[in-house]
Structure 1
Amino acid sequence: MTDRPGAGVPAVSRSRPVLVFAGLMVAMLLATLDTQVVATALPTIAGDLGGLNQFAWVTTAYLLTFTAVSPLYGKLGDLFGRRRVFLVAIVIFLVGSALCGAADSMTMLIIFRALQGIGGGGLTVSIFAILGDLFDPREGARYQSYATAVFGVSSVSGPLLGGVITDHLSWRWIFYLNMPLGVVALTLVAVFLRLPSAEARRARIDYGGIVLLATASTAVALLSSWAGHSYPWSSPVIIGLIAGAVVLIAAWLVVESKAAQPIIPLRLFRDSTFTIANVVAFVAGFVTMGALTYVALYLQMVTGVSPQSAGLLMLPLTAGLLIATTVSGQIMFRTGSYKWFPAASMAVAALAFVLLATLSVDSGLVVICGYLAILGLGGGLSQQTVVIAAQNTTPRADLGAATSTVTFTRMLGTLLGASIFGAILNSGLAGQSGLSQGISVTPEAVSKMPERARHAYELAFSHALTGVFLTGIPILLVALAVALFMKNIPLAPRRNGPPAPAPEPEPAAKSSTP
């Protein structure tokens, strides 16, 4: 292994970067696919295992633990070395996958999905942080764009792939197929990735910060899952979750301000670039995934396509995401500048929301796909840019914490976006059609309505969805105004990077322990 001259940033052996990167991308694919891969398989799973009233938790449990542990893994990587943390995370993910495939009840499947999410959250954070270690910010922009493309494509493609596997094999193979691919990723990273040891410093684990942040994240995740669905927004349960989340976040801020080694160092937010990157990440997660959820529902409710076809119609969004991430990554690599990409992302996403707000029952599929492609372009322009921006202005000692914070804020935005947009859609349906539980009406139920009632419902749903997109426009414009203040700091070798310590030894006795 060689060191980058003068940068203090390690470089993977130049004969092995493709193998290391391939292992990281396979792990990224698995972790992000599993956020939504069971969506289309849930009816089949419920029919097999029973527990129909619990089936939504199969997805929620994974997202909850995935989000809650993200900051923890980033800090652990800073303290103990990212390679070790990555290997621990992938082992947890694979154990969880095997147990999910073998589950014989809905309760056990939910518990094992939570375990799987603990590994998946660690994988995603560790991968982006490892890339930040391997490459300086300018060169890393190119590789981060590939990783972000995998992240975005797998997030969008999960429901489609899950449906195909369930139809042609069994829902259990959704989890079993993780095993051979995960072993490949584990082997490639364990054998070929060598990073410097973590700095020799006494680790003082921020237990208070970990517990408070995980509990607050759980409250937010439950809020996003229950509000407007299982419980009305005015119910004591939802009001209690909101109050609890606020109190827990306030307590966490107090604890973090006093912790010797906080899980998320609040001093990072003194840097305007880091703060803006997190604002853009939050809003991008909020609007993009929220829109994706309800456009897919619109396609089924109004146009009458099947869930699998709705997944296929998301491909234009995926294409836009791929184009934007790849092109922006290449431009950042060649120019060393990322300043305008977050603002461009918010502007293009706002344009997409304006266009999506015009959808009606008469809108053709070609028009809808065109609007989704524009939304994908908007999302792709900021996906890896905010990670690169945060890493570029962060000392190497805090690289993992900075990376995990951006990932965490994006996931929080995703959770809250789906919940709040769902409440707006429900409110719109209740106001126009008298349906107090609008989105609990399934596409199958709509298709069986008498023609006049079906047409009335489709009109009501279309109008209610317009309210969702109109709500997102001002949020995007505020984020655009914030993004315009992003400083033009050239991508350069890591600042405050001390000389890299000696690489980790590779004795045979440690080969079986991450």
Structure 2
Amino acid sequence: MTATPPSSDGSATAPRSRRRVLEALSGLLLGMFVSMLASTVVSTSLPVIVHDLGGDQGTFTWVVTATLLTTAISTPVWGKLADLVNRKLLYQLAIIIFVLATAAAGFAQDPTTLIAFRAVQGIGAGGLAALSQVLMADILSPRERGKYMGLFGAVMAVATVGGPLLGGLITDAWGWRWNFFVALPFAVAALIIVQRTLKLPAHAKRKVSIDYIGIVLLSVAVSLLLVWISLAGDTFEWWGIETALMLGGAIVGAILFVVVELRVSEPLIPLTLFRNRTFTLSVIASIATGIAMFGASVYLSQYMQLARGATPTEAGLMTIPMIGGLLISSILVGGLITRHGIWKPYLIIGSVMLIAGSSLLSTIHYDTNFALVSLYMFLLGAGVGMTMQNLVLVVQNTSKPTEIGVASSGVTFFRSLGGTIGVSVMGAALATRVTELVADRTDDIAAALGTLGDQAQVWVAQLESGTLPQVSAMPEVLRVVFEDIYANGISRSFLIAVPFAVLSLIAIIFLPNISLTSMTTSERLAAGEADLATVSVPQAMQTLAATGSIPTADANRPDGDEPAPSGSRGD
């Protein structure tokens, strides 16, 4: 899309054509739909997938964490590349990686293979998450973006509500493997539409330098931290040689990463960004949003199936209140921000809802009135909807046009990192708590098994195998015991999100309340170049005249030559 020249007051001289904007957004909308559908269609069937592949609670956590980990690590890489090379090509590449890895996961025969393909899927997801924000900044100004959020909200509604329902139906009817193939036709369509409709202004070409050492150090530091969180207290003791090696390695990797970023010419995450108070505080707030968003989506689905005995289809239906809260708040707030240009009060309200939703979800039991559970989920979803995208918006509003990619991906990276760590910590806490409760309720489990007669040995063998149980298939007398155990463990894990939500509120309160600009990234770049030319040409002439490189207008020329034309260089 061609940028509209900015006027002297900093706004566009003519409004962007709505038709051209919609054409440019169509590819992004479908790409986002592919990403969300491929993720949400699997969410409700994960307990069944892990059970069928013989995985335990740790496997369940790593199937999710592997994707979040590579998403977090790859996000700043994609963002950096977006500032250096063709953004449209990068976006198409991200779609291809994401969907092919998703389809490959459908052929997994064991948990390790599934986790590996999910990790590759996360690389593509990181590109889609980072590049969609950067490309939107090329197409729409921060002030304009709100009125188009309805379109994104509609796509989110179809993917986030329809995905789990479709996934549950596919799992119950044809088996969970088909969930991994459903996004393929949409991906092909997305690639074609992006190629035909997404037309971006050309950016000045410059020498590309990729910070490979920074990528490796960041990957090592984050991976060691997450492996330690996931395995400590289960595979090995919290305090021991393994903890010293993993935690120490993560700290050393992080320190070396900072040193490298300070020295390279094209850092993966420019540390100068943290001089911007808006960026720093938005990063802190995004961490809490990530924990709430990813943690809730993962463990609420598990709560519905393991604590309330729901099928995958029923679990998809039961999580609609959270998705509804997210959609309603994001669409409504987006429109209000565009209309009035005010954003900070909505972020504060959203962070308060995050605190309320996380706190209330930590109180749920297997028999809690579902109307109350729905209210708690709605509050959490509304909090995420008000804060998630708007934190990226305020960062883009204050970042340099040449650093939009790394600034946007920086916030997205820390949100994904927060979600990854949050899911890992919540999963570790859940596994530990379930183990403790099973040991405490051995008598209740034995009494329940004693009433099953010939079926008792079948269930004893399944429970002793360590695989994630299929609670909905258990006999009533045994199912009630395990529903109570898992409800207790999952609700306890939601307490972990509460202090981070409080920290998010504090960070948002101190965000500078800067008005949103009405210029796109391309227009800001054009305006900056125009201002530079206006200032630099007179300064250059004054410098040349002062040094004698060119004569001044009233200088006497003994040789009788005419004055040099304005703007020429002296020898």
TM-score (norm 1): 0.84
Specify the alignment match of 1:444 in structure 2: 470
Greater shift after overlay, 149-158 or 279-288? 149-158
- Partner secondary structure for residue 269 of structure 2: coil
Specify the alignment match of 2:24 in structure 1: 20
Task: Please report how far the alpha carbon of residue 478 of structure 1 lies from its aligned counterpart in structure 2 after TM superposition.
Answer: 2.4
- For residue 90 of structure 1, the aligned residue among 72, 89, 95 is 95
* Structure 1 residues 462 and 114: alpha-carbon distance in aligned structure 2, compared to 1, 3 A threshold: closer
* Structure 1 residues 348 and 433: alpha-carbon distance in aligned structure 2, compared to 1, 3 A threshold: same
- Confirm or deny: 8 A CA contact 1:197 1:501 kept in the other structure: no
- Partner secondary structure for residue 410 of structure 2: helix
- For residue 526 of structure 2, the aligned residue among 483, 492, 499 is 499
Distance 2:215 2:11 in 1: 30
Encode CA deviations 1:444-501: one digit per residue, 9 max, x unaligned: 35974784x7656555555555543444333322221221011111111258933189
Specify the alignment match of 2:545 in structure 1: none
Distance 2:422 2:151 in 1: 25
Task: Please report how far the alpha carbon of residue 178 of structure 1 lies from its aligned counterpart in structure 2 after TM superposition.
Answer: 2.3
* Structure 2 residue identity aligned to 1:186: L
* Structure 1 residues 371 and 58: alpha-carbon distance in aligned structure 2, compared to 1, 3 A threshold: closer
- Partner secondary structure for residue 515 of structure 2: coil
Distance 1:106 1:463 in 2: 26
Matched, 1:475 2:480: no
Specify the alignment match of 1:2 in structure 2: 2
Greater shift after overlay, 320-329 or 253-262? 253-262
Distance 2:181 2:94 in 1: 17
Specify the alignment match of 1:204 in structure 2: 209
Distance 1:216 1:82 in 2: 28
* Structure 1 residues 279 and 143: alpha-carbon distance in aligned structure 2, compared to 1, 3 A threshold: farther
Greater shift after overlay, 15-24 or 314-323? 15-24
Greater shift after overlay, 187-196 or 291-300? 291-300
Distance 1:266 1:407 in 2: 16
Give 5+ residue unaligned stretches, structure 1. 503-514
- Confirm or deny: 8 A CA contact 1:40 1:162 kept in the other structure: yes
Specify the alignment match of 2:319 in structure 1: 314
* Structure 1 residues 24 and 370: alpha-carbon distance in aligned structure 2, compared to 1, 3 A threshold: same
Give 5+ residue unaligned stretches, structure 2. 446-462, 530-571
Encode CA deviations 1:108-135: one digit per residue, 9 max, x unaligned: 5554443333222212211111001111
Task: Please report how far the alpha carbon of residue 265 of structure 1 lies from its aligned counterpart in structure 2 after TM superposition.
Answer: 1.1
Specify the alignment match of 1:114 in structure 2: 119
- For residue 219 of structure 2, the aligned residue among 204, 214, 221 is 214
- For residue 167 of structure 2, the aligned residue among 162, 171, 184 is 162
Distance 1:267 1:320 in 2: 36
Specify the alignment match of 2:265 in structure 1: 260
- Confirm or deny: 8 A CA contact 1:11 1:134 kept in the other structure: no
Task: Please report how far the alpha carbon of residue 222 of structure 1 lies from its aligned counterpart in structure 2 after TM superposition.
Answer: 3.5
- Partner secondary structure for residue 499 of structure 1: helix
In the TM superposition, 1:270-309 aligns within 5 A as 270-309=275-314
- For residue 131 of structure 1, the aligned residue among 117, 121, 136 is 136
Distance 2:197 2:27 in 1: 9
Encode CA deviations 1:317-351: one digit per residue, 9 max, x unaligned: 00000001001101111111212222211111112
Matched, 1:387 2:392: yes
- Partner secondary structure for residue 524 of structure 2: coil
In percent, how many aligned pairs have the same letter?
34
Task: Please report how far the alpha carbon of residue 275 of structure 1 lies from its aligned counterpart in structure 2 after TM superposition.
Answer: 1.3
* Structure 1 residues 361 and 96: alpha-carbon distance in aligned structure 2, compared to 1, 3 A threshold: closer
How many residue pairs are counted as aligned between the two chains? 500
Task: Please report how far the alpha carbon of residue 258 of structure 1 lies from its aligned counterpart in structure 2 after TM superposition.
Answer: 1.7
- For residue 34 of structure 1, the aligned residue among 27, 33, 38 is 38
* Structure 2 residue identity aligned to 1:485: F
Specify the alignment match of 2:80 in structure 1: 75
Structure of larger gyration radius: 2
* Structure 1 residues 501 and 343: alpha-carbon distance in aligned structure 2, compared to 1, 3 A threshold: closer
Task: Please report how far the alpha carbon of residue 45 of structure 1 lies from its aligned counterpart in structure 2 after TM superposition.
Answer: 5.6
- Confirm or deny: 8 A CA contact 1:65 1:117 kept in the other structure: yes
Distance 1:482 1:46 in 2: 38
Task: Please report how far the alpha carbon of residue 51 of structure 1 lies from its aligned counterpart in structure 2 after TM superposition.
Answer: 6.7
Matched, 1:190 2:170: no
- Confirm or deny: 8 A CA contact 2:24 2:198 kept in the other structure: yes
Task: Please report how far the alpha carbon of residue 375 of structure 1 lies from its aligned counterpart in structure 2 after TM superposition.
Answer: 1.2
Distance 2:48 2:476 in 1: 27
Task: Please report how far the alpha carbon of residue 387 of structure 1 lies from its aligned counterpart in structure 2 after TM superposition.
Answer: 0.9
* Structure 1 residues 230 and 320: alpha-carbon distance in aligned structure 2, compared to 1, 3 A threshold: farther
* Structure 2 residue identity aligned to 1:444: Q
Greater shift after overlay, 92-101 or 393-402? 92-101
Encode CA deviations 1:355-380: one digit per residue, 9 max, x unaligned: 32333344211221121111111111
- Confirm or deny: 8 A CA contact 1:97 1:176 kept in the other structure: yes
TM-score (norm 2): 0.77
* Structure 2 residue identity aligned to 1:22: S
Matched, 1:396 2:401: yes
Distance 1:449 1:409 in 2: 43
* Structure 1 residues 422 and 475: alpha-carbon distance in aligned structure 2, compared to 1, 3 A threshold: same
Task: Please report how far the alpha carbon of residue 283 of structure 1 lies from its aligned counterpart in structure 2 after TM superposition.
Answer: 0.3
